[in-house]
Amino acid sequence: MTLPSQAEIVVIGGGIIGCSTAYHLARDHKADVVLLEQGKLTSGSTWHAAGLVGQLRSSASITRVLKYSVDLYKGLEAETGLATGWKMTGCLRLATNADRWTEYKRLATTAKSFGMDMQLLSPAEVKAMWPLMETGDLVGASWLPTDGQASPSDITQSLAKGARMHGANLYEDVRVTGFEMKGDRITAVKTNQGDIACDKVVNCAGQWARQVGAMAGINVPLQPVKHQYIITEKIAGLGTDAPTLRDPDRRTYFKEEVGGLVMGGYEPNPQAWTTNLPGGDVPNDWEFRLFDDDYDHFEQHMAQAIARVPALETVGVKQMINGSESFTPDGNFILGVAPECPNMFVGAGFNAFGIASGGGAGWVLAQWVVDGEAPLDLWVVDIRRFSNLHRDRQWVSERTLEAYGKHYAIGFPHEEHTSGRPRIVSPLYDRLKAHRAVFGSKLGWERPNWFAPEGVEPKDIYSMGRQNWFAAVGDEHRHVREHVGIFDQSSFAKYELSGPDAARALDWICANDVGKPVGRLTYTQLLNSRGGIEADLTVSRLAEEKFYIVTGTGFRTHDASWISDHIGHGLDAQLADVTEDFGTLSLMGPRARDVLSAVTDADVSNAGFPFGHVREITIAGHTVRALRVTYVGELGWELHVPIAATGEVFDALMAAGGKHEIRPVGYRALESLRLEKGYRAWGFDITPNDTPLEAGLGWAVKLRKNTDFVGRRALEKIGGASLKKRFAGFTVDDPEIVLVGRETILRDGQPVGYLTSGGYGYTVGKNIGYGYVRNADGASDDLLASGSYELVVAMERTPAQIHLEPLYDPAMERVKA
């Protein structure tokens, strides 16, 4: 065997993800592709995967990816001549308690929002479909008829053949040993059979993806976990068309195989394989290998499974599979371009969803590799959602095991992870704790979600209805509307872009006009080539050649990577991450100016410090970057303080604000306040799938200025046609309704979209949701205003009112509802 000396794209890994990516690169893009597998195709974790194929996720884009997988598997055999073992058996998900049943009603609503027909069945209907099942404890079940199962090895071999048919070259028994680098780019892949010069590399190395990435300085935060299932002998009365079965309250799953059952589960005490210690890597020669059977550990699943399917108590077990699967700290898989290396792409960490995801993941990853940007809103799986925190292998292991243990847990709204905390705290952590803060965590940062009044335990108690913090958050919300609150937002990601060409670079990157005089602040989006919103942030001009950029905590890696990647070639502009250099105190409310004027000699009057400006002022002897901006709809400033001085400045503000009833406020009140004001949240209301014109943010785009910027051509094309979808707000009068997002929007009884976010507005006294109303013939103001609207909430229809303007406007001293 002789490897080629060069190729356009090298794919590393011959499991289902690598073969799917190579297939799509060759079929859809006619790319010059070489795939390298260190052993034999499927020999890592693909060959022993259970093969369940589900489609529904909370993200519309990821659901689309999984639906694509099903469509691909249906027709792949006809194309390649190799069977895939695909059977569309449908899937039953069982519910044994009220909270799980509510979750399924919400899931069924989400499914319908995404164009899928998920049905809710009674225990009697479940028994008729699966006669061997004990149903006495069931409340009901969800039923998705288009789910199914497949043979992982057969699918992969079929994809591999298809890739070869379209011109890709696949090589087995070739181990990648390193990379030749020029700066931060890979120029060649080194192997034990020779080097291959290339333009791009796709790391689909499965449980070895972390080690392969490390060879190029790239972090792929995943953790191999031992996952067990059994394959039984034939069971009398089990039909070959039996639906796949998920029994999450018993943490188990079942699928029919050759007249018997495959049964496995997700235990709350999972077993990691490798560790953070030296030598804790996955062995290179782990080919078609399994761990020893561990019936002691598996016994917890057997007991639960026998209670559900009593026939298991007497049937023989043909084989136990105890293999490693790659899991991630948040339970979502990993796709996209590595922030450390602009020409390495990653497809890994599939959390036992590799077979369900494989076809679609390969499709979108191939497009991403060719275009350099994601073809859909893939934020929830984007590798740039991680940070340097995720280089800590022990932390990743602990958080991943927690996520694994919750794989089948009820998905309560607003639930927080508990492992590895506290990890990163602001200087105010102890002060806020003394104020009875209940903290959440974002990208490792501890942030106050709410403050418990005396007599209320400072702890989240999760439920599907109103949670225990609802009243306390309402008090915080009203306090900001009526007095003044202080938010610790030190976790904000912050950068400085400086250099002679900084302004020129930002003019190309930003959709809004940031080329304003020194001392001005601009709210702007960063767009992709489709005109979709890739980031949503503020840019402050501190000097002619220096800009201060502030964005959300979770977007730190993503936004820095996007900005760096789009600085024009040859421009003299440097981006520096200064997140840990500054604490951030947001002072918000009608009394904010009174408090600020008491602690600084600076002129903070409206004339002296207008909205959209930035000034350096002195507070408690420290120089503070003060940004006149708000996310709550009230008078306010973001105060960016040297990190070590954050405590002193906080104390000064609290002391001066005493007579104005200042109090610390949490992120849950912030969310409620922003909903009333109609401010969009990136990742929910605005995404790479949505343009500023559709989102009602056209005012923040410099289309009237004769300046090119990323996404301009796409917006001009869209602007010339009638918009097919429009962002709108909705209110619901029924106080018992709880909006969390993904509820279906009905206009005149017909589905026209779904909510992208939802919550409660304490000032307007109503539930608030936002979403896009879609109409193929155009979504004009007249069309939106003329319809009669309802929302489908947990499968129940409730009347709703549409709003095209903010519900709360303090400048006009009115509340609209």
**Could you tell me which residues come within 8 angstroms of residue 734 by beta carbon, excluding any fewer than 6 positions away?**
767, 798
Please say if the pLDDT value at position 121 is more than 70: yes
Strand-pairing partners, residue 540, are: 521, 548
At 815 the pLDDT is 41
Query: How long is the chain?
Result: 817
Strand-pairing partners, residue 6, are: 197
724-759 tens-digit pLDDT: 999 999 999 998 899 999 999 999 999 999 999 999
At 718 the pLDDT is 87
Please say if the pLDDT value at position 814 is more than 80: no
Is residue 647 within 8 A of residue 470, CB to CB? The reply is no
b/e per residue 430-440 (b: at least 16 CB within 10 A):
ebbbeebbbbb
In the structure, what pLDDT confidence band is assigned to residue 513 with cuts at 50, 70 and 90?
very high
Rounded to whole angstroms, the Cα distance separating 678 from 336 reads 31
At 218 the pLDDT is 97
Rounded to whole angstroms, the Cα distance separating 399 from 384 reads 18
- The SS3 of residue 179 is strand
Rounded to whole angstroms, the Cα distance separating 355 from 158 reads 13
At 812 the pLDDT is 42
Rounded to whole angstroms, the Cα distance separating 788 from 321 reads 55
Phi, psi of 149, deg, nearest 5:
-150, 160
At 58 the pLDDT is 80
At 813 the pLDDT is 41
At 49 the pLDDT is 82
Report how far Cα 614 is from the mean position of its chain's Cα atoms.
32
- The SS3 of residue 246 is strand
Q: 269 is written with which tokens?
A: 């005490």
Q: What is the mean pLDDT of residues 34-62?
A: 88
**Could you tell me which residues come within 8 angstroms of residue 206 by beta carbon, excluding any fewer than 6 positions away?**
13, 15, 17, 44, 45, 46, 326, 348
Rounded to whole angstroms, the Cα distance separating 538 from 125 reads 54
- Write 187-193 long-range contacts (CB < 8 A, 24+): 189/10, 189/12, 189/36, 191/3, 191/36, 193/1, 193/3
Q: What is the mean pLDDT of residues 569-585?
A: 97
The CA angle 47-53-59, to the nearest 5 degrees, is 125
Cα distances (Å, whole numbers) of residue 4 to 34, 83, 208, 816: 8, 30, 23, 67
- Rounded-to-10 torsion of CA 737, 738, 741, 743: -30
Residue percentage of the chain with pLDDT more than 70: 98
Please say if the pLDDT value at position 388 is more than 80: yes
At 276 the pLDDT is 59
Please say if the pLDDT value at position 411 is more than 70: yes
Phi, psi of 69, deg, nearest 5:
-55, -45
417-455 tens-digit pLDDT: 999 999 999 999 999 999 999 999 999 999 999 999 999
What would the DSSP string read from start to end of 695-711? TT-GGGS-TTSS---TT
Report H helices in 408-461: 429-434
Please say if the pLDDT value at position 811 is more than 70: no
- Pairing label, strands 271-272, 223-232: antiparallel
Peptide bond into 422 cis (omega under 30): yes
64-84 tens-digit pLDDT: 999 999 999 999 999 999 988
Q: 95 is written with which tokens?
A: 């519910």
Is residue 382 within 8 A of residue 336, CB to CB? The reply is yes
Q: 737 is written with which tokens?
A: 């309704």
**CB atoms near residue 602 (< 10 Å):** 17
Rounded to whole angstroms, the Cα distance separating 106 from 341 reads 40
> Which domains does the chain carry?
6-85+150-223+330-385 (3.50.50.60), 91-146+224-323 (3.30.9.10), 582-660 (3.30.1360.120), 672-815 (3.30.1360.120)
Q: What is the mean pLDDT of residues 172-198?
A: 97
What would the DSSP string read from start to end of 261-306? EEEEE--SS-EESS-SSTT-SPPTT--S--PPP-HHHHHHHHHHHH
pTM for this predicted structure? 0.96
Q: What is the mean pLDDT of residues 764-774?
A: 97
Of 144, 119, 114, the C-alpha closest to 751 is: 114
631-656 tens-digit pLDDT: 999 999 999 999 999 999 999 999 99
Is residue 189 within 8 A of residue 36, CB to CB? The reply is yes
Of 399, 385, 491, the C-alpha closest to 448 is: 491
**Could you tell me which residues come within 8 angstroms of residue 559 by beta carbon, excluding any fewer than 6 positions away?**
493, 495, 526, 535, 537, 549, 551
Q: 580 is written with which tokens?
A: 């840990």
At 817 the pLDDT is 34
Average per-residue pLDDT for the chain: 95
